[in-house]
Amino acid sequence: MAWLPGIRVGSYEIVDVLGDGGMGKVFRVRHLISDRTEAMKVLLAASSASQEMLDRFTREIRVLATLNHPNIAVLHTAFHHEDSL
């Protein structure tokens, strides 16, 4: 799947790319139901990523889900979409 502005991913629409790094890309997205602007971090091509990379990304999701601080982004959800986590 091409991760491009205007593409719908579940309940989200990609607005633009915020950045990319060693694990994937971060997108500015709009939640289609709430109309809230959020960030979505995507481990691209999860099916071809190493098991170590998948485990690391999953740990990051679980740690972020436990945190509650005004200076740390809130994790709203995590999910698989096609071949991406």
| pLDDT computed for residue 52 by the predictor | 85
| pLDDT computed for residue 73 by the predictor | 85
- Predicted structure pTM score: 0.81
Which sequence spans correspond to the domains of the chain? 8-66
Give me the half-sphere count of Cα atoms (radius 13 Å) on the Cβ side of residue 67: 13
Pick the CATH number of 8-66 from 3.40.640.10, 3.40.30.10, 3.60.110.10, 3.30.200.20: 3.30.200.20
pLDDT in tens, the chain (85 residues): 688 999 999 999 999 999 988 778 999 999 999 999 999 988 876 556 688 888 888 898 999 999 999 998 888 888 888 878 8
Task: Transcribe the chain into DSSP letters.
Answer: ----TT-EETTEEEEEEEEE-SS-EEEEEEETTT--EEEEEE-TTTTTS-HHHHHHHHHHHHHHHH---TTSPPP-----BTTB-
